[in-house]
Amino acid sequence: AQSVTQPDIHITVSEGASLELRCNYSYGATPYLFWYVQSPGQGLQLLLKYFSGDTLVQGIKGFEAEFKRSQSSFNLRKPSVHWSDAAEYFCAVGVKEYGNKLVFGAGTILRVKS
Protein backbone atom coordinates (compact mmCIF):
# COMPACT_ATOMS: atom_id res chain seq x y z
CA ALA A 1 0.00 0.00 0.00
CA GLN A 2 1.10 3.54 -0.60
CA SER A 3 2.31 5.58 2.34
CA VAL A 4 3.68 9.05 2.89
CA THR A 5 6.02 10.10 5.67
CA GLN A 6 6.55 13.64 6.81
CA PRO A 7 9.14 13.24 9.56
CA ASP A 8 8.80 16.73 11.01
CA ILE A 9 5.61 17.46 12.93
CA HIS A 10 6.59 21.04 13.72
CA ILE A 11 9.14 23.35 12.16
CA THR A 12 9.95 26.89 13.27
CA VAL A 13 11.89 29.24 11.03
CA SER A 14 12.67 32.92 11.19
CA GLU A 15 11.05 35.23 8.70
CA GLY A 16 13.33 35.60 5.70
CA ALA A 17 15.10 32.31 6.32
CA SER A 18 14.99 29.39 3.91
CA LEU A 19 12.66 26.45 4.40
CA GLU A 20 12.73 22.78 3.52
CA LEU A 21 9.90 20.40 4.43
CA ARG A 22 10.63 16.73 3.98
CA CYS A 23 8.43 14.11 2.38
CA ASN A 24 9.15 10.47 1.65
CA TYR A 25 6.74 8.10 -0.05
CA SER A 26 6.41 4.39 -0.46
CA TYR A 27 5.15 3.11 -3.77
CA GLY A 28 6.46 0.69 -6.38
CA ALA A 29 6.19 2.93 -9.40
CA THR A 30 6.36 6.65 -9.93
CA PRO A 31 3.38 8.17 -8.20
CA TYR A 32 1.75 11.50 -8.67
CA LEU A 33 3.05 13.81 -5.95
CA PHE A 34 1.47 16.87 -4.41
CA TRP A 35 2.03 19.47 -1.75
CA TYR A 36 -1.00 21.12 -0.17
CA VAL A 37 -1.22 23.89 2.41
CA GLN A 38 -3.98 24.33 4.99
CA SER A 39 -4.71 27.35 7.15
CA PRO A 40 -6.58 26.72 10.41
CA GLY A 41 -10.16 25.62 9.84
CA GLN A 42 -9.82 25.85 6.09
CA GLY A 43 -9.65 23.46 3.17
CA LEU A 44 -6.53 22.45 1.29
CA GLN A 45 -4.86 24.58 -1.34
CA LEU A 46 -2.53 23.02 -3.88
CA LEU A 47 0.99 24.45 -3.86
CA LEU A 48 2.47 22.28 -6.59
CA LYS A 49 2.34 18.88 -8.22
CA TYR A 50 4.62 16.42 -9.99
CA PHE A 51 3.36 14.00 -12.59
CA SER A 52 6.37 13.45 -14.84
CA GLY A 53 9.16 15.27 -16.62
CA ASP A 54 11.38 17.86 -14.99
CA THR A 55 12.03 16.76 -11.42
CA LEU A 56 12.16 20.32 -10.10
CA VAL A 57 8.70 21.81 -10.06
CA GLN A 58 7.66 25.34 -9.33
CA GLY A 59 4.50 26.20 -7.49
CA ILE A 60 2.57 29.12 -6.17
CA LYS A 61 3.74 31.54 -3.48
CA GLY A 62 7.39 31.00 -4.37
CA PHE A 63 7.49 27.32 -3.40
CA GLU A 64 9.34 24.62 -5.30
CA ALA A 65 9.82 20.90 -4.82
CA GLU A 66 12.26 18.34 -6.15
CA PHE A 67 11.38 14.75 -6.96
CA LYS A 68 14.22 12.34 -6.23
CA ARG A 69 13.36 8.84 -7.35
CA SER A 70 16.44 7.27 -5.77
CA GLN A 71 15.44 8.62 -2.36
CA SER A 72 11.66 8.32 -2.81
CA SER A 73 11.47 11.93 -1.74
CA PHE A 74 9.59 15.03 -2.74
CA ASN A 75 10.84 17.83 -0.49
CA LEU A 76 9.28 21.26 -0.49
CA ARG A 77 11.49 24.34 -0.42
CA LYS A 78 11.19 28.10 -0.24
CA PRO A 79 14.21 30.43 -0.29
CA SER A 80 12.72 33.11 1.96
CA VAL A 81 9.80 32.51 4.27
CA HIS A 82 7.16 35.15 4.97
CA TRP A 83 5.05 35.34 8.12
CA SER A 84 1.97 34.53 6.01
CA ASP A 85 3.47 31.11 5.21
CA ALA A 86 2.65 29.90 8.70
CA ALA A 87 0.23 27.01 8.16
CA GLU A 88 0.15 23.23 7.97
CA TYR A 89 1.68 21.56 4.95
CA PHE A 90 0.69 18.18 3.59
CA CYS A 91 2.50 15.97 1.14
CA ALA A 92 0.25 13.58 -0.79
CA VAL A 93 0.60 10.68 -3.17
CA GLY A 94 -1.81 9.70 -5.89
CA VAL A 95 -1.83 6.43 -7.75
CA LYS A 96 -3.52 6.34 -11.12
CA GLU A 97 -4.80 2.82 -10.57
CA TYR A 98 -6.91 4.21 -7.73
CA GLY A 99 -8.59 7.02 -9.60
CA ASN A 100 -8.34 10.29 -7.75
CA LYS A 101 -7.59 8.84 -4.32
CA LEU A 102 -4.88 10.70 -2.41
CA VAL A 103 -2.83 9.33 0.46
CA PHE A 104 -1.64 12.10 2.74
CA GLY A 105 1.26 12.44 5.10
CA ALA A 106 0.64 13.47 8.69
CA GLY A 107 1.45 17.08 7.95
CA THR A 108 4.08 19.57 9.10
CA ILE A 109 3.08 22.66 11.05
CA LEU A 110 5.20 25.62 10.09
CA ARG A 111 5.70 28.43 12.55
CA VAL A 112 7.37 31.64 11.43
CA LYS A 113 9.02 33.85 14.01
CA SER A 114 9.72 37.50 13.40
Partner 1 sequence: KAGVTQTPRYLIKTRGQQVTLSCSPISGHRSVSWYQQTPGQGLQFLFEYFSETQRNKGNFPGRFSGRQFSNSRSEMNVSTLELGDSALYLCASSPASTMNTEAFFGQGTRLTVV
**Given the rule CB under 8 A, which residues bind partner 1?**
32, 34, 36, 41-46, 49, 51, 90, 94-96, 98-107
Pick 29 or 114: Cβ nearer partner 1: 29
Give the nearest distance from C-beta 23 to partner 1 in angstroms: 14
- Give dist(CA 36, CA 42) in Å, integer: 12
Q: Could you report how far apart the first and last alpha carbons of the chain are, in Å? A: 41
Give the nearest distance from C-beta 8 to partner 1 in angstroms: 14
Give the nearest distance from C-beta 98 to partner 1 in angstroms: 5
Give the nearest distance from C-beta 95 to partner 1 in angstroms: 8
Which of 22, 34, 31 lies closest to 75 in space, CA to CA?
22
- Give dist(CA 109, CA 68) in Å, integer: 23
Pick 15 or 64: Cβ nearer partner 1: 64
- Give dist(CA 64, CA 95) in Å, integer: 21
Pick 83 or 98: Cβ nearer partner 1: 98
Which of 46, 45, 3 lies closest to 23 in space, CA to CA?
3
